[in-house]
């Protein structure tokens, strides 16, 4: 009897999630699209050494990343499309910033590879979950902290490059000190993102196991 109830509850949950997935044209989703569009001007400004404009763009992108999640939760505008667009915007921004950092400072390459590899693995894991017909879980606190740390680190690096190339810098940071701080911040960000990857791996594994268990129970009932 309890198995039948579990199946019914799963069906009700899936039906509720299906109505949620219909919410495509929402403010959070539009903000995610804007974040994706902001990648191009950031890359152009950064490579042209217009660091002030690049810093403004990345700060706007970071604030909007926090804003879209708040609006989605506060005004019940969460959607399945949003669960795809939000991490996609994060990953595309990360990739663009990583390429820019390696262009100006090649020694950033190992850390950037770690960051990009982590996001690619998460993207592969999410796609496998979606193919199984499972709802993608919401972003967890450790994932959001990693994203915030990433934006703070990039903002500092852009600010450092801006001060280094300014004739009359507001704050003087010698090149060696700036490089050390940048490496420490990037290393901490990479460590946090690797931690997030491990935690998400456990989350996805538990979801897959519950899904397989539910399918087995359903098959037993119908036999």
Residue 11, pLDDT score = 42
Residue 42, pLDDT score = 93
Mean pLDDT over 175-190 rounds to: 86
Residue 39, pLDDT score = 95
pLDDT at 14 over 50: no
Task: Tell me if 26 sits within 8 A of 77, measured CB to CB.
Answer: yes
- Report d(CA 107, CA 187) in Å as an integer: 12
pLDDT at 12 over 60: no
Shortest CA distance to 111 belongs to which of 49, 194, 47? Answer: 194
pTM here is 0.69
- Of 1-10, 21-30, 213-222, the range with the highest mean pLDDT is 21-30
Report residue 6's pLDDT band, with 50, 70 and 90 as the boundaries.
Answer: very low
Share the mean pLDDT of the chain. Answer: 78
- Report d(CA 136, CA 123) in Å as an integer: 11
pLDDT at 126 over 80: no
% residues pLDDT > 90 (the chain): 9
Shortest CA distance to 148 belongs to which of 90, 81, 102, 200? Answer: 90
37 or 116, greater pLDDT: 37
- Tell me 25's DSSP state: S
Residue range 2-222 forms a domain whose CATH class is mainly alpha
Domains of the chain, residue spans: 2-222
Question: What are the tens digits of pLDDT across the range 17-30?
Answer: 444 444 678 898 99
Concatenating the DSSP letter of every residue in 151-217 gives HHHHHHHHHHHHHHT-SS-SS---HHHHHHHHHHHHHHHHHHHHHHHHHHHHHHHHHHHHHHHHHHH
Shortest CA distance to 211 belongs to which of 57, 49, 7? Answer: 7
């Amino acid at each position: 009897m309890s198995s039948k109830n579990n199946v019914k509850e799963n069906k009700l949950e899936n039906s509720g999630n299906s109505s949620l997935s219909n919410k495509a044209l929402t403010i959070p989703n539009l903000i995610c699209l804007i974040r994706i569009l902001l990648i191009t001007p950031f890359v152009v400004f950064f490579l042209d050494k217009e660091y002030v404009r690049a810093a403004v763009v990345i700060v706007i992108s970071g604030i909007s990343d926090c804003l879209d999640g708040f609006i989605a939760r506060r005004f019940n505008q969460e959607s399945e499309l949003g669960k795809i667009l939000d991490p996609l915007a994060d990953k595309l921004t990360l990739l663009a910033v990583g390429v820019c950092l390696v262009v100006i400072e090649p020694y950033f390459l190992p850390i950037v590879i770690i960051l990009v590899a982590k996001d690619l693995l998460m993207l592969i894991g999410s796609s496998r979950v979606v193919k199984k017909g499972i709802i993608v879980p919401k972003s967890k606190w450790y994932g959001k902290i990693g994203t915030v740390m990433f934006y703070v680190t990039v903002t500092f690096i852009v600010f450092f490059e801006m001060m280094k190339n300014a004739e009359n810098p507001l704050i003087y940071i010698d090149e060696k000190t700036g490089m050390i701080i940048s490496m420490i911040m990037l290393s901490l960000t990479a460590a946090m993102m690797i931690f997030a990857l491990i935690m998400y791996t456990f989350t996805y594994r538990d979801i897959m196991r519950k899904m397989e268990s539910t399918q087995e129970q359903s098959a037993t009932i119908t036999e």
